[in-house]
Amino acid sequence: MTRPGPTTRVRIRRLTGTRAVDRRDDLSTEEPLEIRLALPGGGHRTVAITMRTPGHDFELAAGFLLGEGVVRPGGIASIAYCTDEDLLPEARYNTVTVRLHGPIPDLPALDRHFVTSSACGVCGSAGLDNLHERCGPLPEDGLRITPEVLYGLPDALRRAQGVFGKTGGLHAAGLFTAEGAQVAVREDVGRHNTVDKLVGWAELTERLPLSGHILMVSGRTSYEIMQKALAANIPTVCAVSAPSSLAVDLAREFGMTLVGFLRGEGCNVYAGQERIFVE
């Protein structure tokens, strides 16, 4: 079975005025990914099914589990594509099994079968009160970011979007230092998946926590994105579009900086103004 890639080539008909030309076009691949937890006595338990762009699948699984509080940093023993005999060949690279250090935690997140989508993220995520049970407010870190650094982030993110350049149909999330240096960028059809991939990358390369970094996302900022950033201890989240009301509430509740409408040389700072240095 051929492993799916981030792009899929199709034949289309391009219309320009009254002229028609048949040609090839690249689309962003969208396929399901099932995330399973290996049970100590054998077998597995499915905890999520998400639509995603193939690539960095292990990072996506790790980041999702961390963001939802299913595991703590350092709690993942291994991740592999599933080779169960009952699995159809075409699903082999769309199913990953995660093994944890120690037993599977008894968490509310495992009381139901997560079904996520590339469009809306996890439905019914825990409220702010439940989030306090596993995440405390971020400590005062003395981080100071200049407006000039902020204004350069959207273009830096766009330059790093290789698959978007081919398809025009992907979201992106980028991790940057407080000085604006690019650390890592991930793309996906799902906004939330891009952040999961970044957090998963940091977990699998033993870089957590991500204190002192900036998360830049290509779309709007939702509660789920802020929750995932908080789980990785990312203090500052920036976006080219608007945040939701609950995203702002979460940022203010947990001491995070939230920047929206970051375009050109302007932006709105919704929370954590103290980290933005303005003379």
Contacts of 84 (CB under 8 A, 6+ apart): 44
CB 266 within 8 A of CB 153: no
How many Cβ atoms from other residues are within 10 Å of residue 109's Cβ? 17
Of 120, 123, 135, 238, which is the active-site residue?
120
Backbone angles phi, psi at 98, to 5 degrees: -110, 130
Whether 238 is catalytic is no
- β-strand partners of 24: 11
Give residue 70's identity as a one-letter amino acid code: V
CB 217 within 8 A of CB 237: yes
> What is the Cα 262 distance to its own chain's centre?
19
Q: Which residues are part of the catalytic machinery?
A: 120
